[in-house]
Amino acid sequence: MSKLKPLQIDIVSDVVCPWCYIGKRRIENALALAADVPVEINWRAFFLNPWVPREGISRDDYLTAKFGSVEAYKGIAGRVVEAAGEEGLVYRPDLVKRQPNTIDCHRLIHWADARGKAAQMKQRLMELYFRDGGDLTDTEVLIEAAADCGLDADDVRRRLATDEDVALISAQAQDASDKGISGVPTFVFAQKYAVSGAQPADMLARAIRQVSAEVNAQAAE
């Protein structure tokens, strides 16, 4: 039996995007539905709110700037909370008090990737933010999250204090923007086909199977 070529899936998303939180669970469910298809997952940085300063801003100020008022977001949030719940996830917008700039979060995910733990790191940061209302502008919160995922706390503390990989992460986010990606999550299959939004798992599973079949058919020619 011929060995299938792994399908490359680039997942462009941000840790403070609620639909990315939901989309991560849905792509994981899709991968389970298409478990016979070998894949190679790459987590790509995206800045949902590039205008938020490195030190972050208060959640109320953020909601007012983005949605016009704190109250205006409540109606939107209800739908997202419900969608998260349907995936077995918890989103507690009432607990979020600070809106972070996410470049340091993306640096952690990149560093965790070297140990094969990018998805775990991404999940931990999202849970802290959406479920627990964690302050992702707090370096100690980030260090603890990294330690939870098996990274060395002292090493992470040292690296966060530098500009290590800031340029790399910024370039990743710029590359996504240059390719016309403006909404996340976006799933890019085989560097060729992009699916935007937190699509249902069965739809993503079909895409995985179709593109994998195409890629392997081309490889066999």
CA distance 173 to 41: 17
All domains in the chain, ordered by first residue: 7-220 (3.40.30.10)
What's the pLDDT band for 2 if we cut at 50, 70, 90? low
Look at residue 123 and tell me whether its pLDDT is greater than 60: yes
Compute the average pLDDT of residues 71-88: 96
pLDDT of residue 1: 41
pLDDT of residue 221: 81
Note the pLDDT tens digit of each residue in 181-208.
999 999 999 999 999 999 999 999 999 9
The residues, any chain, with a CB within 8 Å of residue 80's CB and separated by 6 or more, are: 18, 19, 22, 91, 93
Look at residue 127 and tell me whether its pLDDT is greater than 50: yes
CA distance 205 to 103: 30
Q: What is the largest CA-CA distance in the chain?
A: 59
In the numeric block, the tokens 């990737």 are attached to: 113
Compute the average pLDDT of residues 75-89: 96
